């Protein structure tokens, strides 16, 4: 075409918009059917069936849930601070989707003569023949994870209710403690790759047979990152802030209909994001057999890895009982934080001797 906006051809912007649409729709559908899959999987693990009535074997259950929540009455407590009350679910939900801007879910595909890498915030530089993406990708991800905490804190405070306040306080304390351990766990990855760009991290794991995956080179970091991220998104066994038996509904007690649905979606969207991150940083992202030869295989491998990790999350939810709050804090500060620091030291020492 020849039209250049800000120095990049028009096809770059068209490609970016379509990538955003595809990723957004994919995450939304995954979130909706993750709720259904969770109920079915946990049901079968408890030797019972999950939803069976709505559609064939309950497959229309998420749609029925969505319609029900949509038609519920909106109750906003008069004593609450309305603006913060209304904004809190958005702040909890949006960073989960924003993180997908830097996750590569495929290799480089060729569309109408232009090469387009399957990562939203990147483009193929024809001059140098490489893919240029956000070179502080992992820092961006950590920042988005921290933003999610604000939503929960705001929800707890703005509701002006004792249950919500305690739930919000506990949730934010838990999220901050485990974010620390998770962030330190991935530092050992940067020490190995010497780059923060997610595209290069995936590229460095493209050895034959999957033996180059960082899950094998840094098993402790993988384990800790995954578990600490589970704790950060308030997922069982660390879901005390939203446990129904403990605090009515924790920080989202005063929320109804769509806003409650948004918190609910935020938990599952965060789960998808965390699994996608773990797949990218530790399981080789979109790498797999013949992923470079057939570019459409890349996203399929990525999705398979993300879904496998999500199944693992649901498996853990069906198995492990909830941690009490003091046990949770003990784990976060006295077990995972020293372990992650130890991991960094050991990686540094081994790296020094290998070089």
Task: Report the interface residues with another protein, using CB under 8 A.
Answer: 41, 43-49, 52, 315-316, 318-320
Q: At closest approach, how far in Å is the CB of 319 from another protein? A: 4
Task: Supply 81's token pair.
Answer: 């601070």
The distance of closest approach from Cβ of residue 239 to another protein in the complex, given in angstroms and rounded to an integer, is 16
Is residue 279 within 8 Å of 299, Cβ to Cβ? no
| Residue 48 CB, nearest approach to another protein (Å) | 5
* Distance from C-alpha of 292 to C-alpha of 194, rounded to nearest angstrom: 24
Judge whether 89 and 151 are in contact, CB under 8 Å: yes
- Owner of token pair 């009535």: 53
Residue placing its CB nearer to another protein in the complex, 41 or 93? 41
The SS3 of residue 6 is coil
CB of 181 to another protein, least distance (A): 16
Smaller CB separation from another protein, 21 or 320 = 320
Q: How far is the CB of 56 from another protein (least distance, A)?
A: 13
Cβ proximity to another protein: between 2 and 321 the closer is: 321
Tell me the torsion sign for CA atoms 234, 236, 237, 243: positive
CB-CB neighbours of 146 under 10 Å: 15
Q: Residues near 340 by Cβ (< 8 Å), separated by ≥ 6? A: 181, 184, 185, 187, 221, 224
Which residue number, 49 or 342, has a Cβ lying nearer to another protein? 49
Helix or strand run (H / E) with residue 306: helix 297-319
- Closest CB 91 distance from another protein, rounded Å: 33
**Closer by beta carbon to another protein, 216 or else 312:** 312
CA separation for the pair 131, 105 (Å, rounded): 14
DSSP 87-116: HHHHHHHHHHHHGGGS---S-EEEETTEEE
215/314 with CB nearer another protein: 314
β partners of residue 124: 131
**Are the beta carbons of 86 and 258 closer than 8 angstroms?**
no
- Give whichever of 43 and 66 is closer to another protein, judged by the CB atom: 43
Nearest distance from residue 318's CB to another protein, in Å? 5
Q: How far, in Å, CA of 116 to CA of 11, rounded?
A: 9
């Amino acid at each position: 075409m020849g039209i250049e906006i800000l120095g990049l051809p028009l096809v770059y912007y068209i490609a970016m918009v379509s990538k955003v649409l595809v990723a957004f729709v994919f995450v939304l559908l995954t979130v909706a059917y993750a709720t259904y899959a969770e109920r079915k999987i946990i049901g079968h693990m408890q030797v019972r069936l999950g939803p069976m009535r709505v559609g064939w074997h309950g497959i229309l259950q998420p749609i029925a849930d969505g319609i029900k929540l949509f038609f519920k009455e909106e109750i906003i407590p008069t004593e609450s601070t309305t603006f913060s009350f209304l904004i809190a679910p958005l702040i909890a939900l949006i960073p989960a989707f924003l993180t997908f801007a830097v996750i590569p879910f495929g290799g480089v595909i060729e569309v109408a003569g232009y090469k387009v890498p399957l990562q939203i915030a990147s483009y193929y530089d024809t001059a140098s023949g490489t893919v240029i993406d956000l070179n502080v990708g992992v820092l961006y991800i950590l920042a988005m994870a921290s933003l999610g905490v604000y939503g929960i804190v705001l929800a707890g405070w703005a509701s002006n209710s004792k249950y919500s306040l305690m739930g919000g306080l506990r949730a934010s304390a838990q999220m901050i403690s485990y974010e620390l351990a998770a962030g330190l766990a991935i530092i050992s990855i940067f020490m190995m790759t010497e780059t923060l760009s997610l595209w290069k991290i995936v590229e460095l794991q493209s050895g034959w047979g999957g033996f180059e995956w960082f899950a094998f080179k840094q098993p402790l970091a993988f384990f800790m990152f995954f578990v600490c991220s589970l704790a950060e998104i308030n997922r069982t066994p660390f879901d005390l802030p939203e446990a129904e038996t403990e605090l009515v509904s924790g920080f989202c007690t005063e929320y109804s209909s769509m806003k409650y649905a948004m918190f609910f979606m935020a938990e599952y969207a965060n789960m998808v994001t965390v699994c996608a991150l773990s797949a990218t940083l530790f399981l080789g992202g979109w790498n797999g057999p013949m992923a470079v030869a057939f570019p459409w295989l890349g996203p399929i491998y990525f999705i398979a890895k993300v879904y496998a990790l999500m199944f693992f999350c649901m498996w853990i939810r069906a198995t492990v009982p909830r941690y009490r709050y003091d046990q949770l804090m003990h784990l976060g500060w006295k077990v995972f934080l020293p372990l992650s620091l130890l991991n960094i030291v050991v990686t540094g020492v081994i790296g020094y001797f290998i070089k």
